């Protein structure tokens, strides 16, 4: 099934006409002019606003085994820069979108309705969308396949089974060639698969269990998002936002807190530590609780990765401010305040003593951690490369996938099999957070050595740094085609994404394009 470059070029002549009109060329215009930036003097100041937490979505209907949700993509505005209203795109009016909490084993049906204006206010592209639940083992037709589009005025029901082990994941737009701008406009939110059995760990819960959705933004001098970028290396903002608020503050009791962190920046990788240099504990990686907590002083975190950490504030005297810092990593554009993320202000008074623990063992039984190394490991190798300004995987792009009429696949693992995949980044000049849809895995090695201790957990996104080679062990759950891409959104859209196909033994895989969005008529919903 995998086409070589040569056979693909020849085949393209035949299928090219049938392929979906590619919006790619139109989006390139953004490279030419760069609008004037909002001067730093007018940008928001760090630590002037409180942290907010997006609302938890209430199901419209709940049956004994399924929660039904309705989520509308719609424009909104927010005062991110004092005195300016920035146009954003939201899920249900909230940026980030509402948090969806799914109990493991209960199904979710989420109806996403595209009520965006017909075209993007700045870039004028057609406002189509695709919704991906990043970190779930969704069937191909519910995985937010980049070319499975919901046009304005259309909706699609995504069916997610939530049979995965508990994990802190996120949903975000994945529309072909416009993913990064759609996400930068606000189309992203958290989704938590929770397992009642985790209660036995007595980890912080309720108000002490907080999702932190980190992103960054750059503004034009008219207060709108700066979405024109000078090259295709990435988009780095000069304002850091947490849950949509610039450098917020949060009051904390003198006790433990669980923070479910996602790096939702388009391109910025982070190197997180506390200003006090005190250690904190990593309790979960992308796809679930780790075998045992890992104490760290700093954490490198690329786009799309999640870490759940527990920070213990009991050692600080009331009045202490602990800043979550971002020590800058190479090849990330840094600005005056991008070395800070948010501040925790320790308060005195009553401390809630309940659920204030981190046990010494968490979930060694999570499947990704128990995957056996294949006796004769099949190693698939992927080179990440820049070619003529474009980003590629082994020289291929999503454009090639479109031109092949979605037939071009980079790998064909068998359902239920475990395989070793190797990602290689020979460049010294940039990193690529590689994300494999449809497969939980774990990192076997980084440059031939053990992964960082805090990376030893179930994962789906892997930081392939400058001059690094990673080996990953993965298991493939559902037959069908899934995307593989770099999670630097600018690389992803230009056009560092390919697909692979999980081959069924008896069953045929579902076609990711088999369940098209429908016209939305029922205004009452």
For the CB of residue 133, give the shortest distance to Cu ion in the complex, in Å: 7
Residues 219-278 that bind ligand C2O (CB under 6 A): none
Q: Based on CB atoms, which residue is closest to ligand C2O, 204 or 458?
A: 458
172 interacts with ligand C2O by CB under 6 A: yes
Residues 55-74 that bind Cu ion (CB under 5 A): none
Distance in angstroms (rounded) separating the CA atoms of residues 166 and 193: 5
Q: Which of these ranges, 5-13, 280-288, 382-390, 483-491, lies near ligand C2O under the rule CB under 6 A? A: 483-491
166 interacts with Cu ion by CB under 5 A: no
485 interacts with ligand C2O by CB under 6 A: yes
**Strand pairing report for 439-446 and 107-114:** unpaired
Distance in angstroms (rounded) separating the CA atoms of residues 441 and 515: 27
For the CB of residue 435, give the shortest distance to ligand C2O in the complex, in Å: 5
304 interacts with ligand C2O by CB under 6 A: yes
Q: Which of these ranges, 330-338, 350-358, 469-477, 480-488, lies near ligand C2O under the rule CB under 6 A? A: 480-488
Over 373-402, what HEC string results? CCCCCCEEEEEEEEECCEEEECCECHHHHH
Binding partner of 172, given ligand C2O, Cu ion, none, CB within 5-8 angstroms per partner class: ligand C2O
Q: Based on CB atoms, which residue is closest to Cu ion, 273 or 475?
A: 475
| Phi, psi (rounded to 5 degrees) for 97 | -60, 170
Spell out a b/e string for 490-507, using b for 16 or more CB atoms within 10 Å of the CB, else e. bbbbbbbbbbbbbbeeee
Binding partner of 483, given Cu ion, ligand C2O, none, CB within 5-8 angstroms per partner class: ligand C2O
Q: Which of these ranges, 11-19, 270-278, 358-366, 481-489, lies near ligand C2O under the rule CB under 6 A? A: 481-489
Q: Which of these ranges, 61-69, 91-99, 264-272, 485-493, lies near Cu ion under the rule CB under 5 A? A: 485-493
How many residues sit in the footprint of Cu ion (CB under 5 A)? 6
8 Å CB contact between 146 and 164 = no
Binding partner of 432, given ligand C2O, Cu ion, none, CB within 5-8 angstroms per partner class: Cu ion
306 interacts with ligand C2O by CB under 6 A: no
Q: Based on CB atoms, which residue is closest to Cu ion, 293 or 457?
A: 457
E-strand stretches of 328-466: 340-346, 379-387, 390-393, 418-425, 432-436, 439-446, 461-464
Could you write out the DSSP letters of every residue in 145-170? -TTS-B-TTEEEEEEE---SPPEEEE
Distance in angstroms (rounded) separating the CA atoms of residues 284 and 294: 9
Give the nearest residue (CB) to ligand C2O: 134
486 interacts with Cu ion by CB under 5 A: yes
Q: Which of these ranges, 72-80, 81-89, 260-268, 479-487, lies near Cu ion under the rule CB under 5 A? A: 479-487
432 interacts with Cu ion by CB under 5 A: yes
Residues 181-210 that bind ligand C2O (CB under 6 A): none
Residues 403-442 that bind ligand C2O (CB under 6 A): 435, 437
Inter-CA distances, 331 with 124, 428, 433, Å: 30, 9, 13
Distance in angstroms (rounded) separating the CA atoms of residues 380 and 399: 22
8 Å CB contact between 416 and 439 = no
Single residue of 69, 106, 132, 256 touching ligand C2O by CB under 6 A: 132
**Strand pairing report for 418-425 and 379-387:** parallel
Q: Pattern of binders to Cu ion over 120-139, x per CB under 5 A?
A: --------------x-----
167 interacts with ligand C2O by CB under 6 A: no
Over 58-88, what HEC string results? CCCEECCCEEEEEEEEEEEEECCCCCCCEEE
Sign of the dihedral defined by the CA atoms of residues 482, 484, 489, 492, in that order: negative
Which parts of this chain interact with Cu ion (CB under 5 A)?
Answer: 134, 432, 437, 486, 488, 491
Chain residues in the site for ligand C2O (CB under 6 A): 132, 134, 172, 174, 304, 435, 437, 483, 485, 487
């Amino acid at each position: 099934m995998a086409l070589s470059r040569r056979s693909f070029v020849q085949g393209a002549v035949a299928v090219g006409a049938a392929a979906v009109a590619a919006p790619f060329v139109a989006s390139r215009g953004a490279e030419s002019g760069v609008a004037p930036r909002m001067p730093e003097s007018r940008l928001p100041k760090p630590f002037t606003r409180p942290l907010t937490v997006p609302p938890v979505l209430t199901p419209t209907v709940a049956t004994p085994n399924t929660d039904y949700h309705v989520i509308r993509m719609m424009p909104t505005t927010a005062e991110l820069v004092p005195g300016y209203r920035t146009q954003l795109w939201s899920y249900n009016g909230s940026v980030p979108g509402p948090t969806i909490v799914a109990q493991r084993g209960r199904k979710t049906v989420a109806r996403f309705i595209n009520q965006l204006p017909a075209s993007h206010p700045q870039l004028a592209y057609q406002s189509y969308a695709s919704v991906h639940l990043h970190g779930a083992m969704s069937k191909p037709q519910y995985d937010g396949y980049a070319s499975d589009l919901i046009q304005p005025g259309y909706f699609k029901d995504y069916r997610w089974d939530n049979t995965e082990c508990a994990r802190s994941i996120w949903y975000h737009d994945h529309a072909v060639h416009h993913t990064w701008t759609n996400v930068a406009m606000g189309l992203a939110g958290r989704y938590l698969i929770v397992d009642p059995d985790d209660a036995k760990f007595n980890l912080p819960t309720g108000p002490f269990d907080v999702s932190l959705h980190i992103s960054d933004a750059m503004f034009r001098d008219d207060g709108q998002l700066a979405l024109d970028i000078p090259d295709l290396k990435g988009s780095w903002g000069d304002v850091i936002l947490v849950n949509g608020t610039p450098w917020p503050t949060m009051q904390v009791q003198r006790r433990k807190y669980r923070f479910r962190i996602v790096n939702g920046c388009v391109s910025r990788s982070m190197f997180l530590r506390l200003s006090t240099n005190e250690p904190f504990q990593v309790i979960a990686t992308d796809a679930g609780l780790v075998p045992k907590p890992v104490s760290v002083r700093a954490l490198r975190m690329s786009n799309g990765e999640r870490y759940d950490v527990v920070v213990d504030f009991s050692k600080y005297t009331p009045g202490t401010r602990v800043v979550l810092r971002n020590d800058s990593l190479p090849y990330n554009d840094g600005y005056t305040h991008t070395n800070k993320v948010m501040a925790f202000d320790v308060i005195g008074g009553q401390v809630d003593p309940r659920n204030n623990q981190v046990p010494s063992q968490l979930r060694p039984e999570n499947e990704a951690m128990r995957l056996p190394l294949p006796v004769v490991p099949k190693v698939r190798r992927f080179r990440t490369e820049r070619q003529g300004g474009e980003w590629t995987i082994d020289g291929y792009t999503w454009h090639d996938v479109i031109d092949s009429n979605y037939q071009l696949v980079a790998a064909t693992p068998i359902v239920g099999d475990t395989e070793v995949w190797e990602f290689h980044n020979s460049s010294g000049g940039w990193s690529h957070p590689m994300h494999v849809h449809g497969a939980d895995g774990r990192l076997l090695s980084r440059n031939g050595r053990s992964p960082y201790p805090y990376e030893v957990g179930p994962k789906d996104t892997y930081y392939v740094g400058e001059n690094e080679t990673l080996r990953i062990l993965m298991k493939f759950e559902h037959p069908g085609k899934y995307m593989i891409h770099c999670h630097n959104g600018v690389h992803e859209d230009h056009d560092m994404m390919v697909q692979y196909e999980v081959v069924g033994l008896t069953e045929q895989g579902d076609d990711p394009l088999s369940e098209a969005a429908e016209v939305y008529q029922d205004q009452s919903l």
